Amino acid sequence: MRTLAIETATPASSVAIGDGADLRAMSVNVDSRGHVGFLIPAIDFCLNQAGWEPSDIELVAVDIGPGPYTGLRAGIATAQAFAAAVGAQMAPVSSLTVIALRAATGRRRIWPVVDMRRGLVAVAPYRPLPGGVAPDGSPEVVNPQDFKALLESEPSESLVVGDWQALPETTWTGMHRVRRGRPRYPSAETLIEIADMRQRLDKLAGPGDVRPMYMREPDVQINWKSFRSEGAWPSD
């Protein structure tokens, strides 16, 4: 299937198009604030490279997070609108899965990391399989201490990939069975590959099934502290 992949879950956004699992064109941008301005010109560039029209796209793959929200939403809105306009199917994919699939390992359990800011990271365990990975537990949002405890309780050796540079150096002290590796960010190229697998497994979605994976309650700040919440009158 002719596939468009949109990746905006981390500071590195990217767009790719592929025919089945074959990558045809790709564009990358490392600027956490440039998503909305970057995406459509990048898609346009990729389609031109392949000599395709937007209406040639049959499948839109998109990273649904976890990741910083504004970019994530811009990517999802772009993907949904594209799919709705040209009548394409969709493949929503977790950023953690995209990172884990690119991690090269034979036997170590893989822990992809996405920086959620405010000292928190999203993590999830994956088991390596021949030609792929399989989730081996639920994703969680944790602080560095909790992540360290998770890794320490691992029965076997593990490989931490993704944006582990977002964690303090002390996370790794004494962690002899933990290795750190690449990639740092998810990439649209991997999304093309995953979308192809999903298609083979007959596991595609409609645009209505695609929503962001936040994993955190919204930050709520109302700047009205000087006002009493109970009101001037006794409650009636």
Partner 1 sequence: MSGPLILGIETSCDETGVAVLEGLEVRSSVLASQVEEHARFGGVVPEVAARAHVEAIRPLAHQALTRAGVHPDQLDAVAVTRGPGLSGALSVGYAYAKSFAYSLGKPLYGIDHMEGHLFAPRLSFPGYEPPAVVLLASGGHSQIVHVKAWGAYEILGGTIDDAAGEAFDKLARFMGLGFPGGPAIDADSVGGDPDAVKFPRAVRDRPFDFSFSGLKTSVITYLEKARENDSLPPRSDISASIQEAIVDVLIEKTFNAVEATGVEIVGAGGGVLANRRLREKLIERAESKGVGLFIPEPSLCLDNGAMIAGVAIEKLNQGAAPDALTLDVDPGMTLA
Nearest to 91, CA basis, from 80, 81, 100, 102: 80
Considering only the stretches 71-79, 94-102, 107-115, 181-189, report the one whose residues sit in contact with partner 1 under the rule CB under 8 A.
71-79
Which residues face 114 on adjacent strands? 122
Considering only the stretches 38-46, 111-119, 138-146, 191-199, report the one whose residues sit in contact with partner 1 under the rule CB under 8 A.
38-46
For partner 1, the closer of residues 73 and 184 by Cβ is: 73
Instruction: Identify whether the C-beta of residue 159 lies closer than 8 Å to the C-beta of residue 142.
Output: no
Kindly state whether residue 55 participates in binding partner 1, applying the rule CB under 8 A. yes
Kindly state whether residue 141 participates in binding partner 1, applying the rule CB under 8 A. no
Instruction: Identify whether the C-beta of residue 139 lies closer than 8 Å to the C-beta of residue 215.
Output: yes
Q: How far apart are CA 34 and CA 13, in angstroms?
A: 9
Kindly state whether residue 168 participates in binding partner 1, applying the rule CB under 8 A. no
How many residues touch partner 1 (CB under 8 A)?
46
Kindly state whether residue 69 participates in binding partner 1, applying the rule CB under 8 A. yes
Considering only the stretches 13-21, 84-92, 116-124, 146-154, report the one whose residues sit in contact with partner 1 under the rule CB under 8 A.
84-92
Footprint (CB under 8 A) of partner 1, residues 201-220: 207-208, 211-212, 214, 218-220
The crossing angle, in degrees rounded to 10, of helices 69-86 and 35-50 is 40
Beta strands in the chain (DSSP E): 2-7, 12-19, 22-30, 59-63, 89-93, 109-117, 120-123, 126-129, 132-135, 140-142, 158-162, 178-180
CB of 229 to partner 1, least distance (A): 7
Report the interface residues with partner 1, using CB under 8 A.
34-37, 39-41, 43-44, 54-55, 57, 69-70, 73-82, 84-86, 207-208, 211-212, 214, 218-222, 224, 227-233, 235
